[in-house]
């Protein structure tokens, strides 16, 4: 793995020599940046920020991430401060950065994910989007298209053009919003249905059979679809378009888009109770761990090989029992990159077959 001018790294070359890489470092030293670079190369997205400018070292025009994969592919992603990216595979420039997704599939679990249960709906949408991206890489383009449409439509609602002209423009946007929004809705629902049995099994195992987990998809629009099946695009699209038209007067008054996938919710329930409201801190940690293990299992089932696991500052938040359950679930088949502020954050089993590095101010050294 190589980094150039990424975050606080000037230049870095790291040879991964063991199934587990343990990265030790204080807050702000760069350990999370290392895992973020792997996530970005594998999924083209970062869960920590949305602007490439924040990923480029201060004063530098560009940053680069590169890595060699077990199948022999070399992946490279260049981020430019002036905008735009350049993806390369085996030295060959790719026309679309989306073509980079595939060889380096990874599942991330960070301390931020522990807010999934009690945090805002946006956190659960972002988590589900990351899952869908692992299953259907084309989803990245749909997300970008929808974000662009949402931004432009919101600007229209605030501009106050002549009524006739504005209605015509909004109708054109609503047609596109309904089409792209439906494709997001369907893929989110399809992924959640795949996750449900796996997550329920993990929750039952982690709670010694005491708890049943339910994942419920709540679209950000009152979609009037009988028995909504993810493969039936037409009824979903027509229902969303009808809702957009009906809501248009109120949205013009508010100056914002009030329905659509950007308002989706993923309800997490233990038994018949909302986990956000009634779950204890321990139950919520167990639930998030069940979601992540289900995600890991689903990606492996779909693609036939274990994804890379990125554990960023999360083990210190899990008690030794949950750490051991995670270690047993991961087993020897997954390559893991794990960060922590000190070596004591790891229970004994994590040290086996591990490579240890320490990071200080964007510089790595082997060992403690």
pLDDT on residue 11:
95
Average pLDDT over residues 291-307: 93
Q: Which residue has the higher pLDDT, 159 or 304?
A: 304
Looking at per-residue pLDDT, the higher value among 202 and 229 belongs to 202
pLDDT of residue 352: 78
Please report the pLDDT score of residue 220 as a whole number: 86
- pLDDT at position 268 is 96
- Quote the percentage of the chain above a pLDDT of 70: 95
Residue of 101 and 17 predicted with greater confidence = 101
How far apart (Å, rounded) are the C-alpha atoms in residues 238 and 226? Answer: 12
**99 pLDDT higher than 80:** yes
Q: Which residue has the tokens 């997001």?
A: 184
Specify which residues 75 forms β-bridges with. 67, 89
The answer, yes or no, to whether residue 225 has pLDDT greater than 60, is no
Asked whether the predicted pLDDT for residue 230 surpasses 70, the reply is no
Residue pair 351/341 in contact by the 8 Å Cβ criterion? no
Tens-place pLDDT, residues 184-215: 999 999 999 999 999 999 999 988 889 999 99
334 pLDDT band, cuts 50/70/90, is: confident
Residue with tokens 């919003």: 177
Q: Any residues with CB less than 8 A from the CB of 139 and at least 6 apart, and which?
A: 129, 132, 133, 184, 187
- For residue 355, what pLDDT is reported? 92
Q: Is 80 exceeded by the pLDDT of residue 232?
A: no
Q: In this predicted structure, which of 72-81, 90-99, 318-327 has the lowest mean pLDDT?
A: 318-327
pLDDT on residue 354: 87
Give the end-to-end CA distance of the chain in Å, rounded to a whole number: 20
Joined together, the tokens standing for residue 128 give: 């589900």
Which pLDDT band holds residue 324 (cuts at 50, 70, 90)? confident
Q: What is the mean pLDDT of the chain?
A: 90
Residues 289-299: what's their mean pLDDT? 93
**Of 58 and 165, more confident:** 58
pLDDT at residue 342, rounded to an integer: 87
Least confident of 52-56, 188-192, 265-269, 325-329: 325-329
**pLDDT higher than threshold 70 for residue 253:** yes
Which pLDDT score, from 0 to 100, does residue 112 have? 86
For residues 361-365, give the mean pLDDT: 91
Give the whole-angstrom CA distance, residue 237 versus residue 208: 42
> Model confidence at 319, in pLDDT bands (50, 70, 90)?
confident
CATH topology assigned to domain 106-304:
Glutathione S-transferase Yfyf (Class Pi); Chain A, domain 2 (1.20.1050)
For the beta carbon of residue 354, count every other beta carbon within 10 angstroms.
16
> How confident is the model over 342-356, as pLDDT tens digits?
888 777 677 777 899
* Confidence bin at 2 (pLDDT 50/70/90): very high
CATH class of 1-104+307-368: alpha beta
Tell me the mean pLDDT in the region 237-245: 93
Domain ranges of the chain: 1-104+307-368, 106-304
Matching fold, domains 1-104+307-368 and 106-304? no
Condensed to tens digits (0 to 9), the pLDDT of residues 105-129 reads 999 998 889 899 999 999 999 999 9
pLDDT tens column, 45-67? 898 888 999 999 999 999 999 99
Tell me which residue of 9, 14, 7, 74 sits closest to 356, measured CA to CA: 14
Between 280 and 222, residue with greater pLDDT? 280
Token pair, residue 115, equals 């807010």
What average pLDDT score do residues 153-182 get?
88
Task: Please report the pLDDT score of residue 228 as a whole number.
Answer: 53
């Amino acid at each position: 793995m190589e980094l150039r001018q990424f975050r606080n790294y000037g230049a870095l070359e790291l040879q991964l020599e063991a199934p587990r890489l343990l990265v030790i470092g204080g807050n702000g030293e760069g350990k999370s940046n290392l895992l973020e670079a792997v996530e970005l190369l594998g999924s083209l997205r970062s869960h920590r920020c949305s602007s490439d400018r924040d990923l480029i070292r201060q004063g530098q025009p560009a940053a680069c991430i590169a890595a060699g994969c077990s199948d022999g592919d070399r992946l490279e992603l260049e981020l430019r401060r002036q905008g735009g990216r350049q993806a390369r595979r085996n030295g060959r420039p790719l026309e679309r950065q989306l073509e980079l997704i595939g060889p380096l599939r990874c599942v991330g679990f960070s301390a931020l994910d522990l807010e999934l249960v009690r945090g805002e709906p946006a956190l659960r949408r972002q988590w589900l989007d990351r899952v869908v991206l692992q299953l259907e890489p084309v989803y990245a383009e749909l997300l970008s298209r929808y974000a662009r449409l949402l931004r432009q439509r919101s600007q229209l609602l605030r501009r106050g053009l002549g009524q006739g002209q504005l209605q015509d423009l909004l109708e054109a946007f609503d047609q596109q919003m309904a089409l792209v929004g439906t494709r997001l809705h369907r893929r989110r629902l399809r992924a959640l249905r795949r996750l449900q049995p796996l997550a329920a099994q993990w929750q039952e195992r982690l709670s010694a059979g005491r708890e049943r987990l339910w994942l419920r998809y709540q679209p950000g629009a009152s979609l009037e679809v009988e028995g909504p099946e993810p493969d039936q695009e037409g009824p979903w699209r027509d229902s969303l378009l009808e809702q957009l038209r009906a809501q248009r007067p109120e949205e013009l008054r508010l100056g914002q888009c009030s329905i659509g996938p950007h308002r989706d919710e993923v309800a997490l329930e233990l038994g018949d109770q909302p986990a956000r409201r009634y779950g204890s801190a321990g139950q919520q940690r167990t639930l998030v761990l069940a979601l992540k293990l289900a995600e890991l299992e689903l990606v492996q089932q779909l693609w036939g090989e274990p994804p890379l696991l990125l554990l960023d500052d999360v083990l210190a938040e899990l008690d030794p029992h949950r750490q051991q359950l995670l270690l047993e679930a991961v087993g020897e088949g997954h390559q893991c990159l794990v960060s922590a502020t000190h070596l004591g954050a790891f229970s004994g089993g994590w040290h086996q077959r591990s490579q240890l590095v320490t990071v200080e101010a964007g510089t790595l050294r082997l060992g403690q």
